[in-house]
Chain A
Amino acid sequence: SQKIEQNSEALNIQEGKTATLTCNYTNYSPAYLQWYRQDPGRGPVFLLLIRENEKEKRKERLKVTFDTTLKQSLFHITASQPADSATYLCALVLKGSQGNLIFGKGTKLSVKP
């Protein structure tokens, strides 16, 4: 069956550490993958997009990797801050699709001071 899994429902880390969130998928052929941040009661906010032929993307303190062999994306937040506390969603866009997103359930990140 087709699945997209974000392996941790919740992740608690100390301020200043690097947070690493995992997104795994099975039986999908993604054209690209996007990461979103969602705060309680708000809509998702786009963070990064990485295409199937790209290994890594960076934006300020954020880094995403994409390994189509392992069928996995890793999302890193370096020098994490309490303001980074939120739910992070990964989403696939499949090859041959109309561009709609298939989301995981999200990982709730809590950064403690």
Chain B
Amino acid sequence: DAGVTQSPTHLIKTRGQQVTLRCSPISGHKSVSWYQQVLGQGPQFIFQYYEKEERGRGNFPDRFSARQFPNYSSELNVNALLLGDSALYLCASSLDPWNTIYFGEGSWLTVV
């Protein structure tokens, strides 16, 4: 079975631009969450979606938004990119929000 898949794996954007990151959960998993990991730190929670509804939001500005589709895949959007948004963006899925969480390999975003 395929694990959590994310695209793109690497991308470079300019300050002020917008980016969309995509995630496909493990088959059968209905919960998807997003985390941001900057170098030398642990991942930080951004969003959680379950059954296509937002169930949790971390301490991130409104420039960050996400959604979950009927097939349980998800997108993370970040508007008006700042240099500080450069990080590894991790998508994770689980059967439901209270089960073991499995991560994808991440999308590396560099903002220049």
Residues of B within 8 A of A91 (CB): 42
CA distance A43 to B9 in the complex (A): 11
The size class of the interface chain A forms with chain B is 20 to 34
**Cβ < 8 Å to A, chain B residues 86-112:** 90, 94, 96-106, 108
Interface string of B34-63 (1 = CB under 8 A from A): 010000111111001010000110100000
- CB <8 Å contact, B100 and A34: yes
Once the chains bind, are A43 and B55 in contact (CB under 8 Å)?
A: no
Q: Which of B33, B50, B101, B106 is A34 in contact with, Cβ under 8 Å?
A: B101
State whether A43 and B48 are in contact (beta carbons under 8 Å apart), knowing that A99-B97, A105-B41 are contacts in the complex. no
In the complex, the answer to whether A42 meets B106 with C-beta atoms within 8 Å is yes
Could you tell me if A42 and B105 are in contact, using CB atoms closer than 8 angstroms? Answer: yes
Q: Does any Cβ of B come within 8 Å of A27's Cβ?
A: no
Q: Number of contacting residues on B, CB 8 A?
A: 29
Q: Which residues of A contact B24 (CB under 8 A)?
A: none
Nearest B residue to A44 via CB reads B103
The contact string, 1 if C-beta is below 8 Å from chain B, for chain A 87-108, is 0010101000111111111100
Residues of A within 8 Å of B48, CB to CB, are: 98-100
Task: State which residues 13-46 of A face B: CB under 8 Å.
Answer: 31, 34, 36, 41-46
Q: Looking at the complex, which one of B44, B99, B106 makes contact with A103 (CB distance below 8 Å)?
A: B44
Q: Besides A43-B104, A44-B90, A105-B40, 20 other CB < 8 A contacts?
A: A41-B108, A42-B106, A43-B4, A43-B105, A46-B100, A46-B102, A49-B100, A91-B42, A98-B48, A98-B56, A99-B96, A99-B98, A99-B99, A99-B101, A100-B33, A102-B45, A103-B42, A103-B43, A103-B44, A106-B42
Chain B residues near A (Cβ < 8 Å)? 4, 31, 33, 35, 40-45, 48, 50, 55-56, 58, 90, 94, 96-106, 108
